[in-house]
Amino acid sequence: MAEEPGLSDQYPTASPWPLFVALGLALSEIGVFVGLFPVAVFGLILFGGSIAGILTESGYVERPWPTLLGVGVVLIILAAAFALWQVPVADIALSNVGTGPLFTRLVAVAAAGAVMIAMGGVASVMEQTAA
């Protein structure tokens, strides 16, 4: 171990991630169901980020960034599928954000997905170029 060990390396029975996975899930649910756009976006980012973190920490994956990217893709696919299934095509327009209750929520989910893809992508590239 070349560098300073992190908390969960230092202590075998500690991990900072579970708390944030739970908080992220709670905020996502509130945001999506109550229809609070910012809470949904940030909650989902926190949730996806913590999933990436906890999987990396426990050694299921090597690096967090591809996972983050993957969660983002899943969210976008989900949002797109629901939109195609439940929202009339004519209503799928940026100007409709904030009016259609379902559409606005789906946009929030997709936005969170997009942010995660961007974060995961940029970080992956930076890491590979740095190394």
Residues that bind another protein (CB under 8 A): 1-23, 25-27, 29-30, 33-39, 41-43, 45-46, 49, 53-54, 56-60, 62, 64, 101-102
CA distance 40 to 49: 14
Nearest 10 degrees: Cα torsion 69, 36, 81, 47: 30
Between 46 and 117, CB nearer to another protein: 46
Q: How far is the CB of 93 from another protein (least distance, A)?
A: 19
Residues near 68 by Cβ (< 8 Å), separated by ≥ 6? 48, 49, 52, 116, 119, 120, 123
Between 22 and 84, CB nearer to another protein: 22
Q: How far is the CB of 3 from another protein (least distance, A)?
A: 5
